[in-house]
Amino acid sequence: VESGWKNIIQALEVLEVLKFPHHGSRTAMTEAFLETLHPKLAVISVGKNNYGHPNEAVLAALAKQAIQVKRTDQSGDIEVISDGRTWEEY
């Protein structure tokens, strides 16, 4: 995992929702980083026909880890509301 993020990751008790960086591009996050974070939900903000985003390898890595994926090109606006202990996605 990238050294700059190690302290942040260690400080997190649980990361359940991840807003996936850079529209789900191949270089936005390593598989090791994703395995360390292991969120329950990954939200990918992307438009239709958006330069090949999200990348198929990214989607495969998320599926391999059974991480639920929500994409704005498929679902439109995505809203996640949390009280600090639980969250709901709308």
Q: What torsion, rounded to 10 degrees, do the Cα atoms 50, 51, 56, 58 define?
A: -80
Say whether pLDDT at 11 is over 80: no
Lowest mean pLDDT among 2-6, 17-21, 37-41, 70-74: 2-6
Work out the number of other CB atoms within 10 angstroms of the CB of residue 49: 8
- Look up residue 25 and give its two tokens: 């591009």
50-68 pLDDT, tens digit per residue, is: 677 898 999 999 999 999 9
Sign of the C-alpha dihedral computed for residues 9, 14, 19 and 24 taken in this order = positive
pLDDT in tens, 74-84: 999 999 999 98
Residue 26's pLDDT band, with cuts at 50, 70 and 90, is confident
Q: What share of the chain is helix, strand, coil (3-state, %, to 5)?
A: 35, 20, 40
Classify the C-alpha dihedral 62-67-71-74 as positive or negative.
positive
